[in-house]
């Protein structure tokens, strides 16, 4: 079987999976951010056994993937698989006055996301933490510098100081998302690079965030 045939069959599998209205709605939601199965159930009003069936079909078609929460290991998050939407048009977007990226300490992931957003969109961005640290993690400053992004003058701030009407909140930390349940917004389940503290961990976090920023930016319109 040649590569073209494999690629064609993969496209057919994706289109077949998306032919179901419930699965298309799930993918529309995942183009914005990550959801736990419980959150998808609440959003869709769907029983757990039926949701499990649809998620399994999306995973088998290469449209969705899942990972365990770093905050609560009993919980998992569903996200779009890498390259899931190649050749497909994303669903609904968001309107926002400003985008606020949130993590627990506001010392790495949220700072990187806000800085990268400024290169991808004209809509203003900032970052905040639910329990801000005293300073930005050196690993975040270093990875940003390697990619031509400056974080040296940014200081961690609390969400209460930063959030305002018309903001689109994007949590980039499982702990922050689960602490802020009910506030809406978008969630990206990005692994915490500080857990390992290695250059590779920060590079992976940077790449993950950059990919997500570039995917969301065209979807957010000025409110």
- Residues 72 and 130 both lie in one domain: no
Residue with tokens 């032919």: 19
- Residues 211 and 123 both lie in one domain: yes
- Residues 67 and 108 both lie in one domain: no
Burial class of residue 177, CB neighbours in 10 A (0-12, 13-18, 19+): buried
Domain count, the chain: 2
CATH number at residue 60: 1.10.10.10
Q: How much is the average pLDDT of 90-105?
A: 85
Contacts of 39 (CB under 8 A, 6+ apart): none
79 in Cβ contact with 105 (< 8 Å): no
Instruction: Give me the domain span that covers residue 51.
Output: 3-80
CATH number at residue 204: 3.40.50.2300
Nearest residue to 81 via CA among 68, 105, 97, 65: 65
Lowest average pLDDT, out of 30-44, 78-92, 150-164, 206-220, goes to: 78-92
At residue 90 the predicted structure's pLDDT band, cuts being 50, 70 and 90, is: low
What pTM does this model have?
0.77
Q: Is residue 85 part of a domain?
A: no
Q: Is residue 218 part of a domain?
A: yes
pLDDT in tens, 50-74: 999 999 999 999 999 999 999 999 9
195 in Cβ contact with 109 (< 8 Å): no
Lowest average pLDDT, out of 6-15, 26-35, 206-215, goes to: 6-15
């Amino acid at each position: 079987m040649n590569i073209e045939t494999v690629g064609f069959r993969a496209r057919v599998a994706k289109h077949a999976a998306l032919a179901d209205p419930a699965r298309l709605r799930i993918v529309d939601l995942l183009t914005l951010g990550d959801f736990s199965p419980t959150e998808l159930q609440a959003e869709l009003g769907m029983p757990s056994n039926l949701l499990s069936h649809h998620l399994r079909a999306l995973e088998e078609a290469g449209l969705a993937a899942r990972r365990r929460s770093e905050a609560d290991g009993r919980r998992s998050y569903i996200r779009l698989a890498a390259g899931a939407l190649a050749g497909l048009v994303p669903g609904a977007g968001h309107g926002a006055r400003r985008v606020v990226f949130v993590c627990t300490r506001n010392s790495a992931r949220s700072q990187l996301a806000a800085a990268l957003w400024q290169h991808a969109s004209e809509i203003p961005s900032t970052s905040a933490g639910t329990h801000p640290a005293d300073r930005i993690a050196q690993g975040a400053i270093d990875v940003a510098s390697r990619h031509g992004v400056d974080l040296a003058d940014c200081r961690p701030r609390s969400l209460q100081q930063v959030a305002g009407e018309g903001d689109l909140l994007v949590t980039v930390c499982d702990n922050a998302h689960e602490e802020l349940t009910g506030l809406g917004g978008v969630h990206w389940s990005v692994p915490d690079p500080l857990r390992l503290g290695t250059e590779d961990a920060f590079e992976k976090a940077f790449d993950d965030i950059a990919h997500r920023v570039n995917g969301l930016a065209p979807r957010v319109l000025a409110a």
